[in-house]
Amino acid sequence: MTQPNDGAVQPDSPPEPTSPSRRTIIVAAAVGAVALGVVISIVVVAVMAFNANREPETFEVLGAITLEDSITTYGLPDGFECAGKGGYKDIGPGAAVTVTDEAGTLLAKGAIATSSGGSSGCWLDFTVADVPRGKAFYKVEVSHRGELTYTESEAESGLVFSLG
């Protein structure tokens, strides 16, 4: 039997793995942070570009009601020069203006906010904000005077009603 030779050269063992240096870790973290920043920037720009090209989801209906007779100019709050009287007494400060869709679902409410004119003619302005887009048509009613029907384009262009 042969005995191991203590003087024989043993093959080199693999070197011990070394841990990455602190500098390597810092550089890797910096590169990762820059890459993350670039990705976030690209996403933000893409979202902003997408939203910039979209039409707002709501619009505002602006309009006026004109009265030719049965007008009062007395006892009105600031911002009002005239209002309806007699059979038109419901047409005045704060009178409700509603917008519904083709199914009669209430979409938005507004009110008469100002008026100008006098006893020979009265112009009462209203605004209905946040009317949702995309309906087949829109019914607009002032007080209880009956609904008038408009397309989205017509409703957004401004409305004028005449009474009396």
Q: Which residue has the higher pLDDT, 121 or 36?
A: 121
Ranges 19-23, 50-54, 84-88, 140-144: which has the least confidence: 50-54
Kindly report, residue by residue over 51-95, the tens digit of the pLDDT: 666 666 999 999 999 999 999 999 999 999 999 999 999 999 999
Helix (H, G, I), strand (E, B) or coil at 155: helix
Sign of CA dihedral 27, 33, 36, 37: negative
Q: Return the pLDDT at 50.
A: 67
Question: Which residue ranges make up each domain of the chain?
Answer: 21-54, 58-163
What's residue 124's pLDDT?
A: 98
- Confidence band, pLDDT 50/70/90 cuts, at residue 45: confident
For residue 60, count other CB atoms closer than 10 A to its CB.
15
CA distance 53 to 58: 15
Q: Is residue 8 pLDDT above 60, yes or no?
A: no
**What are the Cα distances from residue 80, in Å, to 2, 5, 60, 125?**
120, 116, 22, 10
Average pLDDT, the chain: 86
Confidence of residue 4 (pLDDT cuts 50, 70, 90): low
What pLDDT is recorded for position 52?
Answer: 63
| 160 against 52, higher pLDDT | 160
